[in-house]
């Protein structure tokens, strides 16, 4: 009478073990994904079109043999998408952002995970400035790819033809940043890195600073001498995408750029190195440092403004840390370079550029990043707290339409109000925002 219950208990234990094994096996097969990888790692980033396709290709290569499946979602509305996902309690495992101000806010709210020490070694300045947490340095993001902002792209013009600036301000949720890039670059070259750093990190009064006012008025003067000044031209510049219109000769509808015919008659465009995507194949368009156009000081002619796309980890998924480590490794960068078209090959922050296979424009830009620059300063608006950055975007749109002294005085007063409102500490006292944004 006693053997049957013991036999039944052993049977139930065996069935339970089989059930657990089956569930574990099912989890290994699905793992939140298909295709046999053990863990799915979701990545949210800014690249779409050919840029996004190249990055997805890299992720597929890195997935092989890693035990993970990397899934990428690219969007031009990056901040809005990430904010919505955080609010829903479903953040991506890895987010790729270009704003130090946003990243600092997320770190202050404990929404980022400190990076593995071996990855943190690749937190190159000025893309990953010091963030003090609890009295010690913590690294929450590292640059994957970088771009140079202080550039002028020019189209060959007929002898005697006037210089005309190409300006397009529309960029979906971030319309206005092509204008803030102008103001930032002018201020850097006129006032120098120290004043630039004070301004970008919230230590300078917008309304009282002569350097800030002069940067705006210099930009207005440049546009007045060769910019879109008719009412119709101004409105077109305010509503036209910074990418320009789609190239009718390209079945994929890729952009053709402002110099490529989207703004007929213009000869010069102030734009970052990423725009070589549309200009590098053209022999009639050249690139050079913007300094000589900006009425700056000779002392700062070799100062350059830069931007970057930084990776941060938002979950405890171990595959997320492993992915960021792979992407910032020499091997991961080599894979990315191979996957991208020649004019889309990323610039990296480790002084490994230029490369022999780069085209002429990329070679020249890379030389500015590595050899010719005395100082590199991170994009000022991307250092600012998001609320101030967004107000800056709106201000340059307003000033572009009405570049007079009264309008400027009102706008600077409004921006100073925003600065003072956020100057009072809103983050925990254990977090000290970055100030070392130039190197």
Higher per-residue pLDDT: 385 or 343: 385
- Give the pLDDT confidence score for residue 7 in this predicted structure: 40
- Let me know if the fold of 37-147+307-361 is the same as that of 150-306+373-432: yes
Higher per-residue pLDDT: 4 or 237: 237
150-306+373-432: which CATH architecture?
A: 3-Layer(aba) Sandwich (3.40)
Question: Span 37-147+307-361: which CATH code?
Answer: 3.40.190.10
- Give the pLDDT confidence score for residue 19 in this predicted structure: 35
- Give the pLDDT confidence score for residue 350 in this predicted structure: 75
- Give the pLDDT confidence score for residue 33 in this predicted structure: 40
Q: What is the pLDDT of residues 295-307, one digit of tens each?
A: 999 999 999 999 9
User: What distance lies between CA 382 and its chain's CA centroid?
Assistant: 8
Region for residue 31 given its phi and psi (left: phi exceeds 0; alpha: psi -120 to 50; beta: otherwise)? left
Q: What is the pLDDT of residues 251-287, one digit of tens each?
A: 677 888 999 999 988 999 999 999 988 887 788 899 9
Q: Distance (Å, rounded) from C-alpha 87 to C-alpha 401? A: 36
Output the average pLDDT for the chain.
86
Domain boundaries, the chain: 37-147+307-361, 150-306+373-432
């Amino acid at each position: 009478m006693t053997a049957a219950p013991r036999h039944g208990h052993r049977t139930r234990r065996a069935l339970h073990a089989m059930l657990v094994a089956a569930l574990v096996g099912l989890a290994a097969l699905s793992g939140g994904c298909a295709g046999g990888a053990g863990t799915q790692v979701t990545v949210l980033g800014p690249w779409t079109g050919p840029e996004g396709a190249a990055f997805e290709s890299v992720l597929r290569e890195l997935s092989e043999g890693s035990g993970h499946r990397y899934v990428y979602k690219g969007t031009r509305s990056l901040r809005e998408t990430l904010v919505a996902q955080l609010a829903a309690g479903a953040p991506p495992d890895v987010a790729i952002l270009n704003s130090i101000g946003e990243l600092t806010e997320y770190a202050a709210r404990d929404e980022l995970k400190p990076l593995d020490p071996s990855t943190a070694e690749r937190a190159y300045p000025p893309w990953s400035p010091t963030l003090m947490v609890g009295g010690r340095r913590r690294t929450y993001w590292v640059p994957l790819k970088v771009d140079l902002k202080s550039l002028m792209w020019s189209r060959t013009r007929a002898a005697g033809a006037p210089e005309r600036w190409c300006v397009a301000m529309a960029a979906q949720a971030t319309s206005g940043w092509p204008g803030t890039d102008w103001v930032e670059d002018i201020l850097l070259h006129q006032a120098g890195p120290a004043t630039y750093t004070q301004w970008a990190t919230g230590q300078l009064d917008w309304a009282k600073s002569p350097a800030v006012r002069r940067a705006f008025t210099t930009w207005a003067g440049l546009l007045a001498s060769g910019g879109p000044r008719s009412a119709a031209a101004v409105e077109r510049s305010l509503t036209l995408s910074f990418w320009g219109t789609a190239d009718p000769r390209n079945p994929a509808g890729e952009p053709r750029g402002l110099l490529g015919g989207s703004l007929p008659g213009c000869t010069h465009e102030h734009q970052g190195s990423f725009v070589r995507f549309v200009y590098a194949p053209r022999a009639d368009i050249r690139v050079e440092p913007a300094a000589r156009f900006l009425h700056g000081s000779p002392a700062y002619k070799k100062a350059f403004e830069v931007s970057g796309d930084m990776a941060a980890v938002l979950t405890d998924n171990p595959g997320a840390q492993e992915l960021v480590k792979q992407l910032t490794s020499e091997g991961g960068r080599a894979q990315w370079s191979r996957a991208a078209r020649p004019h889309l090959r990323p610039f990296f922050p480790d002084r490994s550029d230029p490369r022999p296979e780069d085209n002429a424009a990329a070679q020249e830009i890379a030389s500015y990043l590595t050899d010719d620059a005395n100082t590199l300063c991170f994009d000022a608006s991307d250092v600012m707290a998001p609320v101030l950055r967004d107000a800056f975007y709106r201000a340059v749109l307003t000033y572009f339409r009405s570049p007079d002294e009264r309008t400027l005085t009102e706008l600077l007063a409004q921006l100073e109000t925003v600065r003072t409102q956020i100057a009072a500490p809103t983050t925990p006292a254990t977090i000290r925002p970055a100030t070392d944004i130039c190197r």
